[in-house]
């Protein structure tokens, strides 16, 4: 069989709800790698919060972080030049100013694998800091001196839709925004035009594997473009309805080894 790219989102897709890779999912992906297929992580997480999973799977492939704002090869930057597409600093500061007017719970500004916080009481940021302290915290208008990779906003749940609408009206041409599901209702801001599909296309070109031989798995709205782009887009059983409606296939949930379940049947794997 000709080589395929198997692109996997992390949270709610490859990972169980307690943020682990199940033995069955790990075995299925390892078997496909043995058969010559390429397994690729495509996540909204920064690299520091996805590196452990990359290593656990023994990958040697490029990956997509920050929903396409950072595309890189952790083990071979010479063969695959990193692509970093940050937000313009002035736009970022305007977005932050808008969020401040809504008295959001916290704002996290990512610059590659460093980050800044509005408030040191990190809350939602704990899941993505992995014990790493912020470069600084406080007045982000003053602290931000570089173009940021992404901005994570933790609004009051009652204000989330209103804030999203305001950001869209004010900045639709220059930013893209995504929402995260439970337990944190977080808005993520990246440069306009970026998505996991953008990263996947770069990796597809690198491997010279055509679009029709890409299988992608996802569950949330930041997976929409990737699922639509892939030759076979697979929505998890726990995916949002919008994603299921555009997917080619729907598998079982992340708690039921949905990735392994699909791949076992698709490639006739003996696990």
Query: How many whole angstroms separate alpha carbon 155 and alpha carbon 190?
Result: 17
The count of other CB atoms within 10 Å of the CB of residue 221 is 16
- Of the candidates 9, 11, 176, 223, the residue annotated as catalytic is 9
Closest among 21, 111, 126 to 66, alpha carbons compared: 111
Residue 147 among the catalytic residues: no
Q: 128: which 2 tokens?
A: 């993505």
- Nearest-Å Rg of the Cα atoms of the chain is 18
As a whole number of angstroms, the longest Cα–Cα distance in the chain is 57
Q: 160: which 2 tokens?
A: 């989330």
Query: How many whole angstroms separate alpha carbon 223 and alpha carbon 225?
Result: 6
User: Tokens 């790219």 appear where?
Assistant: 5
Q: Please count the CA atoms within 13 angstroms of the CA of 63 that sit on its side-chain side.
A: 27
What Å distances lie between residue 43 and 33, 93, 167, 173, CA to CA?
A: 20, 25, 23, 23
Residue 87, SS3 per DSSP:
coil
User: Tokens 């704990």 appear where?
Assistant: 126
- Is 177 in contact with 168 (CB distance < 8 Å)? yes
Residues assigned a catalytic role: 9
């Amino acid at each position: 069989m000709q080589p395929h790219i198997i692109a996997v989102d992390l949270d709610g897709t490859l990972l169980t709800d307690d943020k682990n890779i199940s033995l069955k999912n790990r075995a299925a992906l390892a078997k496909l790698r043995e058969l010559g297929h390429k397994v690729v992580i495509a996540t909204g997480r920064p690299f520091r919060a996805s590196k452990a999973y990359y290593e656990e799977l023994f990958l040697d492939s490029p990956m997509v972080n920050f929903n396409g704002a950072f595309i890189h090869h952790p083990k071979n930057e010479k063969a695959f030049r990193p692509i970093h597409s940050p937000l313009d600093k002035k736009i970022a500061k305007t977005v932050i100013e808008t969020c401040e007017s809504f008295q959001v719970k916290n704002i996290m500004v990512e610059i590659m694998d460093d980050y800044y916080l509005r408030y040191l009481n990190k809350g939602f940021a704990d899941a993505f800091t992995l014990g790493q302290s912020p470069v600084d915290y406080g007045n982000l208008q003053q602290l931000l001196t570089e173009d940021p990779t992404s901005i994570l906003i933790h609004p009051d749940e009652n204000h989330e839709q209103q804030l999203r609408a305001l950001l869209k009206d004010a900045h639709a041409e220059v930013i893209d925004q995504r929402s995260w599901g439970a337990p944190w209702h977080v808005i993520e801001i990246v440069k306009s035009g970026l998505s996991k599909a953008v990263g996947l296309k770069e990796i597809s070109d690198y491997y010279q594997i055509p679009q029709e031989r890409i299988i992608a798995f996802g569950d949330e709205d930041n997976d929409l473009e990737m699922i639509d782009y892939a030759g076979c887009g697979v929505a998890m059983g726990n995916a949002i309805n919008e994603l299921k409606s555009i997917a080619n296939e729907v598998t079982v949930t992340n708690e039921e080894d949905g990735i392994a379940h699909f791949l076992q049947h698709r490639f006739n794997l003996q696990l």
